[in-house]
Structure 1
Amino acid sequence: MSNKVEALEIPAKANKKKILSPIVCVILFLKIVIIGYFIYLFNQSFEAGSVLFDRTFFLFIIAGFFAQLIDGALGMAYGISCTTLLLSLGIPPKLASASVHTSEIFTTGVSGLSHIRFNNLDKKLFFSIVFTGVIGATAGAYLLADILDGSMVKPYISAYLVILGAYLIYKAFRKKENKKPKRKYASFLALFGGLFDAVGGGGWGPIVTSNLLSQGHNPRKTIGTVNTAEFFVTYFATVVFIFILGVQHLDIVLGLVIGGVIAAPLGAYIASKVNPKTLLILVGVLVVLTSSYNLFQLL
């Protein structure tokens, strides 16, 4: 009997690796391409002396570390945290969003690979959100860089997220119902989340993760899947920013990348170990606090 069980388990594991490997390979390939490009840019900047390693640079490292630690563990808040810091330092919204998305290429890639390593990925959900998320982010990056003022829509998004965060907290304490999670709106959520993430400098996690959790999806798998898809969303949004705006503030990008890459595996590990109910409560509280703060600033 045990031999039969082992025979069934081995193909299942092999099949799992076979399905995941294309995702890993694509992430690694895209990261190699962008790393090569940025090595070229950094060499030029160092020769020109335009990258400064002062106290502000170390502030960017600390911000990147804690933002990615929270994002990797709870599936959100990297963009919101970093963008808020950059705006407070006087960086224009377009350049702040572009810098954050550029740094996220590196941090979300490491985070996605870490979530795959800790088995935090729902493959069907991943393919439901990654393509429309990329479309939304690409469109949003173009609108922000060339046409739209992102501050116009942020108050409405923030108000919606406050309500959604409160609902997540309520859902965590409510008696559990054995209902099958809904996935039919996942693609639309990803389109919406990718669009406003690029326009507002953050929002992919709060919009996509929060809504999927409210529909009954497993917190650990949802956080890992949304984080992994975020790499592709961020990557193509950044390509648009680079094409239209170029690459500026490389010291900001480097600081955020260093801090974020260090924190990414730790955040994924935390997500794989924390109780689902606790994760849901923490996500809800984080959404309410960050969205309330944003709403207060905007109003």
Structure 2
Amino acid sequence: MNNETIVFSTPNWMIVVFLFLISAFCEYIDSSLGMGYGTTLTPLLLTFGAIRQEIVPVILLSELLTGFFAGIEHHRQGNVDLWKNKNIKTAFLILTVPSVVGVMIATVLSTQLKTIGQHYANLYIGIMIVAIGIYLIYSHYFRKVVFKSISKPRLLFLGTIASFNKGLSGGGYGPLMTGGQLAAGVKEKEAIVITSLCEGFTCLTGLIVFFVLGGSLNLFYVVPLCMGSMLSVVPAAKTIKILPEGILKKTIGWATLLLGLLTLWKFLS
């Protein structure tokens, strides 16, 4: 790829600054709400002329780094206790295996899909994210669902589908994983941290499969995207520390719906 094609043939240094800033913003949202990095960043970069096969593996690398870092930072800030919280341990163990399987299948499939296949993948992912966003908003305002325990079957299904989305398109993981956990009985802050940790393992698996299949990273994207995302983790963890859980859950619902609509807009445009 000619690096000049992105952002309408602007100079390289301006492209690097743009990539750094947009990555930092998207990761701040992601580490604050458990979603939004790949789902937002991928369509934005595609709109500016990037090639999906070049940016998806870099996004996987970026979220591999920030996933583990965010989990540690949320623990350090006191948002959760990774060592004593049984819900986190249970959900993490249940979600890790299907996440690995789902991303392996999707990464192999993604290398075989033509442009038309990737285009319709946006429709599939968008519909699912919109549906879970509507459910979360409905349950918050009207149904007031309270789960007394975590639903393990829901988590198994959730981990497989969310990681499949990740490997297929680079996005669609966080909205389904975080929103789905809330629907399965996991608390808000716990869901955000579990998503970050599972996303780290999911992205690691996706990258391994990608390299085994002969893929390589475009270094032009690696440095600004990884640096921007890593620098946003600490401010995001501090934000979560001061947000009440009621507001957090409502925000997650609306953010999920918005990201789903953004994905569908990308399909239509």
Q: TM-score range by the shorter chain?
A: 0.7 to 0.9
Q: Which amino acid aligns with 1:256?
A: L
Corresponding residue number in structure 2 for 1:115? 74
Tell me, in whole angstroms, the C-alpha distance in 1 between the residues paired with 2:32 and 2:14.
28
Which segments of 5 or more consecutive residues in structure 1 lack a partner in the other structure? 1-51
Q: Is the 8 A contact 2:70 2:196 kept in 1?
A: yes
Q: How far has the Cα of 1:245 moved from its partner?
A: 4.6
Which is bigger in relative contact order (C-alpha 8 A, separation at least 6)? 2
CA deviations over 1:162-221 (Å, ceiling 9, x no partner): 122122122223446463332322122101111111102101111111111123320111
Aligned residues: 248
CA deviations over 1:248-278 (Å, ceiling 9, x no partner): 3212111011111111122223223321221
Q: Does 1:135 align with 2:101?
A: yes
2:236 to 250, 267, 270: 267
Tell me, in whole angstroms, the C-alpha distance in 2 between the residues paired with 1:282 and 1:178.
19
TM-score for the superposition, normalised by structure 1? 0.77
Identity of aligned residues (%): 25
Q: Which amino acid aligns with 1:62?
A: L
1:253 to 219, 222, 225: 222
**RMSD between aligned residues:** 2.0
Q: Which amino acid aligns with 2:159?
A: A
TM-score for the superposition, normalised by structure 2? 0.85
Corresponding residue number in structure 2 for 1:63? 22
Q: Pick the structure with greater CA Rg.
A: 1
2:42 to 83, 88, 93: 83
Q: Is the 8 A contact 1:68 1:263 kept in 2?
A: yes
1:193 to 151, 156, 162: 162
1:228 to 192, 197, 222: 197
Which segments of 5 or more consecutive residues in structure 2 lack a partner in the other structure? 1-10, 83-87
Tell me, in whole angstroms, the C-alpha distance in 2 between the residues paired with 1:70 and 1:241.
27
Alignment of 1:155-170 (within 5 A): 155-170=123-138
Q: Does 1:152 align with 2:120?
A: yes
Q: Is the 8 A contact 1:223 1:271 kept in 2?
A: no
